[in-house]
Structure 1
């Protein structure tokens, strides 16, 4: 629907009539004023009713359109639900070299850990409507890939574009946690949640997980840790095949301690199904805010009547210039 920001300006509509009906004394004063040559053309055609009618109509329309434009017409769009309060969920994803291990099964085919994570985590991101989401990628160091935003599509896209080894081949868990704390501190008070996904142990970085844990505790950040990797994997050798444990480097003890001391929980993801169940449980532990406010987007429309008024003004000028010229030629 259309509404007007300043509807009271419509009281100016009869202003030309008020000027016209001024007392005779004021009329004589106004008539004494010097008028532009083009405007004076109206008076010169006063004795010709057929030529006077069109300029009068144009002037009336121009004034009407100018008043409408001044009253700031706006298009009021459909109501959009906005959360009154949401969570800040930072997602830290391990891109170390071990994430290339193809010990996961996704839709009947063997994939590496990162590909499985992208598929399942992407669905989780889409469901977090109303939450601010951020994405941290870590390897040798930790990097903020996507700052806190309501734009879930961007977070999902940046996750899809991540590659193993993009930030190194080691695992800086402590740096990822510390970077999350720093980004949370820059925001307003809210429910702060970090989801840390890794398949190894801390092997790089400037800050240890223990130091980062103290920072997280002091800022009231809840950390959910997820250890990724199968317990068994069939490995082919030159002579035969054998079962190996591809998750031998996973530091479950440290991940459990981090989750416990921050009020979170540790999860073990041995398959894509496990990962899906973990995210469903996280939806229950950290539900999306349901209470909502509504906002209606506004689109300014003033330029339409203003543009039409400009076109009519040019038409009016053209009329005053052309008609007398044609009349003189006919004589």
Structure 2
């Protein structure tokens, strides 16, 4: 649909008429060098030329009026409005921080063949696709923390980048504090309601790298109204056959549950323990209930600005008229 954003600018069409009516006419006085009494009385009088009263039918007048019409039309901002489109309103700002350290290679969360990272990719990927209406961001952390994607409504891209994640891409150690700090930094300049900022941090270890201690980072997160849910992953203690017989091993011995619990408590979140794929799926299901999606849509119409066309034609025509007068002069 065609539309003018500033239709009141068409009042400027009357500006030349007002100038013509309000300003006095320009005059020139011709002084003769020889007095000739036989010349008519009218010619003895000072000659008055009304420059402002140009012949209405002249090419010059019509050209000037058309140029003025084009320039005023450009000032009125002609637009083409596209079809109405529904966009999701901003729901929660949900950031996923996923541990990609070397220990995520351990295969202890199911059939013994699928490692921790693959299980997280499957379950977290489904969680991302369910969060319609939320803006989701992804942080990967190992020895350092990296923002893989900013907060976005493009959930398919976030899920795809999570699926493409390689263990050890951010280092082989675990910088939990830096991951929280990265989330705080990303949210710092955003305007959001107190209940709308959530970080889901998943790890299988303890903080042994980075520049920020996890508890200190959690205190800063609480000040920024960032609620943190922590998930500790790793299998249960089990008996395995060794060289000297059966022995008990704990594949999640490196998991610092005390710190993860403290992070959740300091920020108003909750700590969860995932021993296998089923419990991890149940945890993300609980997160859906604890942080339900804030659904809602707003209607927008894409707008194309068209002022460049009348403006361009008006300037070209003004140049051609000026060139014609210059040649005639």
Same-fold status (TM-score > 0.5): yes
Matches within 5 A, 1:276-315: 276-307=281-312
Over residues 115-161 of structure 1, what are the superposed CA-to-partner deviations in whole Å (9 max), with x where a residue is unaligned?
A: 33233323333443443433322212323334445554554454344
Q: Which residue among 165, 169, 174 is the counterpart of 1:171? A: 174
Determine whether 1:86 maps to 2:91: yes
Change (3 A) 1:272 1:70: same
State the superposition RMSD in angstroms: 4.8
The Cα shift of 1:261 comes to: 4.2
- 1:225 is paired with a residue of what secondary structure? strand
Kept after mapping to 2: 8 A contact 1:201/1:249: yes
Partner Cα distance (2:70, 2:52) in 1: 29
Structure 1 partner of 2:134: 131
Kept after mapping to 2: 8 A contact 1:10/1:71: yes
The Cα shift of 1:237 comes to: 9.1
Over residues 170-207 of structure 1, what are the superposed CA-to-partner deviations in whole Å (9 max), with x where a residue is unaligned?
A: 11223323443444444435333211101122233333
Q: Which moved more, 1:240-249 or 1:129-138?
A: 240-249
Matches within 5 A, 1:153-172: 153=156, 155-172=158-175
Structure 1 partner of 2:226: 221
Kept after mapping to 1: 8 A contact 2:139/2:148: yes
Stretches of structure 1 lacking an aligned partner (at least 5 in a row): 47-51, 321-331
Change (3 A) 1:176 1:318: closer
Determine whether 1:204 maps to 2:209: yes
Higher helix share: 1
- Superposition TM-score, scaled by structure 2 size: 0.68
Over residues 296-317 of structure 1, what are the superposed CA-to-partner deviations in whole Å (9 max), with x where a residue is unaligned?
A: 3322112234455678789999
Matches within 5 A, 1:66-145: 66-77=71-82, 78-83=84-89, 86-104=91-109, 110-145=113-148
- Superposition TM-score, scaled by structure 1 size: 0.67
Matches within 5 A, 1:245-264: 245-264=250-269
How many residue pairs end up in the alignment? 303
Change (3 A) 1:242 1:299: farther
Q: Which moved more, 1:206-215 or 1:226-235?
A: 226-235
Kept after mapping to 1: 8 A contact 2:219/2:267: no
Change (3 A) 1:312 1:102: farther
Structure 1 partner of 2:8: 8
Kept after mapping to 1: 8 A contact 2:177/2:217: yes
Over residues 32-57 of structure 1, what are the superposed CA-to-partner deviations in whole Å (9 max), with x where a residue is unaligned?
A: 99x9xxxx9x99xx8xxxxx9xx999
Partner Cα distance (2:112, 2:318) in 1: 71
Structure 2 partner of 1:328: none
* Structure having the higher Rg: 2
